[in-house]
């Protein structure tokens, strides 16, 4: 073999070794899965709604920020504009989606909808959101009422002059922005609105105060162990680990925070998994925060790096058998294994 070929082989080997080192296996922390919750923005909000409905036996609550109702697209991207509230006088029909969910539950494709009577749901729509407009989010609220979520467990915030973004103190764009990184700051009654804190406390009850500077650690992990590249999942996902959760026997809760379109690490770097505000609350409340990732791809057709809420991974995308949802739930289960 020529010296150049030897050097090239060594470089490839080093690159492969570096890739493996950059994405180790997801660690186990002995988490308490009785307190697993989910939230997301935009396509992540659609996905959070799907996970809450499909896995209602396991997920105790959801935060849905600028997302339409479960199964809104009904297997077709052609319905996306309706589901995003972009078609005047034609909002999504929550009654049809609720009927579909009842049928899926009877067929055992999703968990029993009876579980939703015990679940806590937070839903948000900014008045200046031009991407997922309020008629779509209104339909999400109506859907959850239709499938049995109690009014006392349902919190709908639709009067903040926010654009299309997750709202967190001190980071990102001005409140009304509809632009990357889709993280903004807003003032409500003279106080910075802390959406991750509101979500987590609506679902889990009163929590200890947020910390200004999280003292835990973000670890990256290999997502390919949970789903093939054809599912759209990126090679690498992220997990925030508070110091208290790194101790054996901590029995921490798990919150799954799901980014929106054009908001994965590929698009905005570390901004979603470090600046969104979840880690500040997790640090002082023994919560592991899982940040699964989807990247842009032409095959499946997903040029903006969105989670699948219309069927690009297959017609089972809204069922428990969905490849993306199964991957996320497998990651959660891994976190519960012995430390």
β-sheet bridge partners, residue 183: 166
| Structure confidence by residue, pLDDT tens digits, 220-268 | 999 999 999 999 999 999 999 999 999 988 999 999 999 999 999 999 9
Print pLDDT tens along the chain (339 aa). 444 343 334 433 333 334 445 589 999 999 999 999 999 999 999 999 999 999 999 999 999 999 999 999 999 999 999 999 999 999 999 999 999 999 999 999 999 999 999 999 999 999 999 999 999 999 999 999 999 999 999 999 999 999 999 999 988 999 999 999 999 999 999 999 999 999 999 999 999 999 999 999 999 999 999 999 999 999 999 999 999 999 988 999 999 999 999 999 999 999 999 999 999 999 999 999 999 999 999 877 899 999 999 999 999 999 999 999 999 999 999 999 987
Structure tokens at 231: 């599912």
How do 187-188 and 191-192 pair as beta strands? antiparallel
* pLDDT on residue 22: 58
Cβ burial 75-86 (10 Å sphere, 16+ → b, else e) = eeeebeebbbbe
Nearest to 259 by CA among 101, 38, 81, 89: 38
Q: Identify the helix (H) or strand (E) that includes residue 75.
A: none
Q: Torsion angle, CA of 45/48/54/55, rounded to 10 degrees?
A: -170
Q: Are 314 and 233 in contact (CB under 8 A)?
A: no
Tell me the C-alpha to C-alpha distance, in Å, between residue 78 and each of 43, 47, 69, 72, 311: 16, 18, 16, 11, 11
* pLDDT on residue 21: 52
Instruction: Give the residue carrying structure tokens 């508070």.
Output: 242
Whole-structure pTM value: 0.93
**What are the domain boundaries of the chain?**
28-336
| Whole-number Å distance between alpha carbons of 319 and 304 | 23
* pLDDT on residue 283: 96
* pLDDT on residue 150: 98
| Whole-number Å distance between alpha carbons of 179 and 230 | 28
List alpha helices for 89-223, DSSP H: 94-106, 134-146, 195-204
* pLDDT on residue 339: 74
| Burial classification of residue 5, based on how many CB atoms lie within 10 Å of its CB (0-12 exposed, 13-18 middle, 19 or more buried) | exposed
Q: How many residues does the chain have?
A: 339
Instruction: Give the residue carrying structure tokens 């077709």.
Output: 76
Instruction: Give the residue carrying structure tokens 């835990």.
Output: 216
Q: What is the DSSP letter of 177?
A: -
Show which residues are catalytic: 42, 129, 164
């Amino acid at each position: 073999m020529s010296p150049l070929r030897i050097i090239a082989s060594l470089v490839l080997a080093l690159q492969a070794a570096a890739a493996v080192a950059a994405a180790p296996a997801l660690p186990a922390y002995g988490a308490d899965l009785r307190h697993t919750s989910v939230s997301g923005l935009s396509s992540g909000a659609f996905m959070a709604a799907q996970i809450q409905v499909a896995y209602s036996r396991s997920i105790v609550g959801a935060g849905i920020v600028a997302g339409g109702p479960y199964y809104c697209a009904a297997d077709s991207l052609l319905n996306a504009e309706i589901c995003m509230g972009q078609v005047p006088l034609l909002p999504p029909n929550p009654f049809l989606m609720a009927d579909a969910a009842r049928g899926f539950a009877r067929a055992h494709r999703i968990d029993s909808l009876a579980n939703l009577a015990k679940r806590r749901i937070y839903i948000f729509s900014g008045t200046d959101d031009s991407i997922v407009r309020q008629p779509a989010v209104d339909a999400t609220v109506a859907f959850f009422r239709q499938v049995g979520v109690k009014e006392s467990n349902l919190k709908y915030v639709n009067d903040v002059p926010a654009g299309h973004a997750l709202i967190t103190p001190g980071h990102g764009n001005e409140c009304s922005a509809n632009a990357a990184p889709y993280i903004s700051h807003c003032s409500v009654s003279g106080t910075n609105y802390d959406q991750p804190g509101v979500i987590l406390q609506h679902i889990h009850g009163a929590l200890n105060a947020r910390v200004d500077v999280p003292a835990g650690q973000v670890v990256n992990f290999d997502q390919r162990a949970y789903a093939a590249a054809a599912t759209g999942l990126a090679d690498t996902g992220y997990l925030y680990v508070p110091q208290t959760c790194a101790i054996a026997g901590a029995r921490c809760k798990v919150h799954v925070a799901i980014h929106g379109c054009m908001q994965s690490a590929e698009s905005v770097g570390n901004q979603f998994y470090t600046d969104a505000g979840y880690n500040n609350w997790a640090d002082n409340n023994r919560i592991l925060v899982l940040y699964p990732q989807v990247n842009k791809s032409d095959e499946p057709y997903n040029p903006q790096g969105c989670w699948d809420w219309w069927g690009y991974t297959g017609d089972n995308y809204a069922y428990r058998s969905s490849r993306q949802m199964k991957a996320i739930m497998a990651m959660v289960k891994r976190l519960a294994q012995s430390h």
